[in-house]
Amino acid sequence: MKTHKTLLPAILLSLLLQTTALTAQDSLALRLQFLAGQLIDSTPQIRQQAHARLTETLLALLQENDSWQQNFDKLPTISIQMPADSSFRFFTWQCEMPDGSYRHGGVLQRRDEPQNPIALRDQPPEARFSEYTSGYADDWIGGICYALYPFTTEDQQTAWLAFFYDSYSPYISRKWMDVLWFDQDQNLRFGLPVFPMPDKFGGLDKHSRVLMEYYRYASTRFNYDEELQVVIKDHIIPYGMLPDNSAPAPVPDGSYEGFRYKNGLWLYDDKLFHQALRDNEAPRPFPILDKQKDKDIFGRKQ
């Protein structure tokens, strides 16, 4: 009996500690869910505050024990992408600023080091988008990651095509294909010169990422097709003017460009599929709009 009496306080203490730990983890999860909701359902000031606190809250939650098993299905404003081998998961989000630009947040958690998540810091909106740089987590070209696909580089290392979206500005949105990889010191990197594309001199110029800018109300495609084993990208042309008359509106014309994998590189094809347009025919009348049948090519009510 004495043995049981001696063990009982220890058991109760253990249960109390476990309950406290669970409560702290649940509290962080609820806080994260609340902040994620504020990204879209609040005033500009509250949105900015939520964006600023999201990274620290997510990092704190991922640093908890058993965080890899944590379910994040109640965060609709945060994209969570995981490659087929489940070696990591990639959290990304965006926040609209008062001037109509967007800031982005990102955290990557590796399965082999789940309690050491990597926080990403996006470049400021005024930074020039470069298709030739290779950067680290602290100078990330921020966007919402919507797809990841593995491939083998020329030096036989595993990397991932990472597809990003950025609302960018009131009239222009961006999608781009980047490369996510880890260097020999296991640093998270973005951008790798694996996209040889024609230059103006008739040669090939290796890009580290590929950008597509388009009128924000247009429906566009830029992703890897697993069945065809090719990256499919809308071909964009200028058509008409943006609503503020600042520039021509970049819209898809019905044809497609592509990138096919070969020996560690993604080779460019300027006419993957082609739907020829007749003279004076406007590009795809609206399929281009994303479920906005009551709006014209510029998003105005018809």
Query: Quick one: three-class SS letters along the chain?
Result: CHHHHHHHHHHHHHHHHHHHHHHHHHHHHHHHHHHHHHCCCCCHHHHHHHHHHHHHHHHHHHCCCCHHHCCCCCCCCCEEECCCCCCEEEEEEEEECCCCCEEEEEEEEECCEEEEEEEEEECCCCCCCCCCCCEEHHHECCCEEEEEEEEECCCCCEEEEEEEEECCCCCEEEEEEEEEEECCCCCEEECCCCEEEECCCCCEEEECCEEEEEECCECCCEEEECCCCEEEEEEEEEEEECCCCCCEEEEEEEEEEEEEEECCEEEEEEEEECCCCCCCCCCCCCCCECCCCCECCCCCEC
Q: Is the pLDDT of residue 15 over 50?
A: no
Q: Is the pLDDT of residue 196 over 70?
A: yes
Q: What is the reported pLDDT for 286?
A: 36
What is the mean predicted confidence (pLDDT) over 147-153?
Answer: 99
Model confidence at 185, in pLDDT bands (50, 70, 90)? very high
Q: Is the pLDDT of residue 278 over 80?
A: no
What is the mean predicted confidence (pLDDT) over 157-181?
Answer: 97
Q: Is the pLDDT of residue 16 over 50?
A: no
* CA 83 – CA 106 distance, rounded (Å): 16
Q: Is the pLDDT of residue 279 over 50?
A: no
282 by DSSP, 3-state: which? coil
Longest dimension (CA), the chain: 96
- CA dihedral sign of residues 37, 40, 46, 48: positive
Quote the pTM value: 0.84
Averaged pLDDT of the chain = 87
The region of weakest confidence among 34-48, 52-66, 185-199, 231-245 is 34-48
Q: What percent of the chain is predicted at pLDDT more than 90?
A: 74
Distances, alpha carbon 212 to alpha carbons 191, 254, 260, in Å: 16, 15, 17
Q: What is the reported pLDDT for 78?
A: 97
pLDDT in tens, 72-89: 988 999 999 999 999 999
pLDDT in tens, 93-131: 999 988 888 999 999 999 999 999 999 999 987 888 999
Can you read off the two tokens belonging to residue 52?
A: 């600023």
What is the mean predicted confidence (pLDDT) over 193-216?
Answer: 96
Q: What is the reported pLDDT for 284?
A: 45
Give me the residue spans of the domains in the chain: 10-219
